[in-house]
Amino acid sequence: MKGSLRLMCAAGALALAATAAPAMAGTTADLLKRLHEKGILTDEEYQELVKGQAAETAQAPTAPPVTPDASGGAGFVRMTDSGIGLQMGDVTLKFSGSVNGFYVHDNGEAPSATNAVVGGVATVGGDTSAIRNGLLPGFLKIEAMTTQGGWDVGAHFGMYPGINSVNYAAGGGANSPGNPRGLQTAGIDFRQTYLTFGRAGFGEVKIGRDIGLFASEAILNDITLLSSGTPAGNVAPSNTTLGRIGVGYIYTDFQPQITYTTPNFSGFTASVGIFEPLSSLTGPAETNKQPGFQAKFVYDGKLGDVSTRLWLSGLTQKHNVDAGPDYTGWGWDAGAKIGFGPVTVVGTYYDASGLGTTALNLFDTDGLGNKRDSHGFYLQGLATFGKFSVGGSYGESNLDHANAADALANPTLVDKNSSWVGQLRYGLTSWVTLLGEYVHTKSEAHNGNEASSDAIAAGAILFF
């Protein structure tokens, strides 16, 4: 039955190719080859269709010539060379996306006076189970790209829907706390809306909403990006877990920006941008007068069988407080990803002042304009053997009091969030990866309070 379905799909694709361009035998052969390479056609089915197509081509009459339209024939629709998409004249339309879901069981401690940690990410409240998204919600990205007057230009849209219902009344929009009740609805986080233009030798300009520069490499190279990591809020899951956010790095976030990226110079690229100024999440009201500034420098290289990716990024922003002293928050992070044979290792470190922890500008000051310093890191390894991969990591995020008065006023403020992660992957197909994970998370307050939780997650993620 499955074989018949595959053959029907392939036959339909061939019929479409023949209708669109009957004389393009080479295009039909390429299509069959692509279907075979993707595993849609078995070896036997591929050979059968190739023979049949060759016979049809030999018997088919010569197609009449196509009369071009005013565009000079550029109006034809054809497949893109890679990915899922179409080329319509000189415009390429591409689609990419991901879907995931996990069973997550989180075992936290019962609440007590000794495990209260303000800003802690370890679960307090007992055992919970959920079917939920991991660190990534699902996403669908649509891109329209073309070349005009020697410039490569593009429009990019990224929608990120979750599988869990959300509670808009609780604040946070599509990523608000979850609402696990009947007759509810999931949310869509429209994270990406930006345009690009660039050309060889010039680089590229990006204008719109997209991922930030500071700490972006930390999350993009984190193995928990494809899984769960620290669950957070498992009793009423939102559209994402924490992964290693707040237990190794500060979340980069998706932000309005105007960013320029240089061409690649022997493996080196640099990006600099001006960003929408963000107000403090926990401080007094602000009316910020200047934009934020971010930059990132990346080097990709290879020495023999060893591949390397090195990065350094930074952020600075002045905060104009309505009723209180102004302050400037800043931070930097650096890291390396090294691959040799089946093993890949990653190490990152960040240092910041007036930037807070977990999210940008969360617990960044004492509320009186006195900045809190923060720092953290994670170390990670992943080994791949055929379709199986096994990985693990440890990371922590630390937050200091602003001064002695802050320590007296906020004794249960988080001092350190940390976690251990163990992960097993299996590449079921080129699109689907099965994952299992164990996570131990610990939160410690400055006054000695501690909370810890243990979680297991099992599920799958699909990319196309």
pLDDT digits 0-9 by tens, 149-172: 999 999 999 999 999 998 877 776
Query: What is the model's pLDDT at position 13?
Result: 44
* Region class of 324: left (phi > 0), else alpha (psi between -120 and 50), else beta: left
Query: What is the model's pLDDT at position 369?
Result: 87
Q: Is the pLDDT of residue 20 over 50?
A: no
In terms of DSSP H, where are the helices of 195-287? 216-220
CA distances from 76 to 17, 69, 210 (A): 12, 10, 32
Given pLDDT bands bounded at 50, 70 and 90, which one contains residue 218?
Answer: very high
Across the range 379-384, mean pLDDT stands at 98
Average pLDDT, the chain: 88
Across the range 101-126, mean pLDDT stands at 96
Which string of DSSP letters, residue by residue, matches 381-420? EEEEETTEEEEEEEEEEEE--SSHHHHHH-TTBEEEEEEE
**By the 8 A CB rule, do 399 and 415 touch?**
yes
Residues 6+ positions from 298 with CB-CB distance below 8 Å: 217, 268, 269, 270, 271, 309, 310, 311
- Which letter, b or e, does each residue of 188-219 get, where b requires 16 or more Cβ atoms within 10 Å of its Cβ? bbebbebebebeeeeebbbebbbbbbbbbbbb
Q: Of all residues in the chain, what percent carry a pLDDT higher than 90?
A: 75
pTM of the model: 0.82
pLDDT digits 0-9 by tens, 283-297: 999 999 999 999 999
d(CA 382, CA 431): 19
Residue ranges and CATH numbers for the domains of the chain are: 2-64 (no CATH), 84-463 (2.40.160.10)
Across the range 171-175, mean pLDDT stands at 73
**By the 8 A CB rule, do 351 and 324 touch?**
no
Across the range 231-260, mean pLDDT stands at 96
DSSP state of 72: S
**By the 8 A CB rule, do 423 and 58 touch?**
no
**By the 8 A CB rule, do 53 and 15 touch?**
no
Q: Is the pLDDT of residue 16 over 50?
A: no
Given pLDDT bands bounded at 50, 70 and 90, which one contains residue 84?
Answer: confident
Counting DSSP H helices and E strands in the chain, the numbers are 5, 19
d(CA 96, CA 145): 14
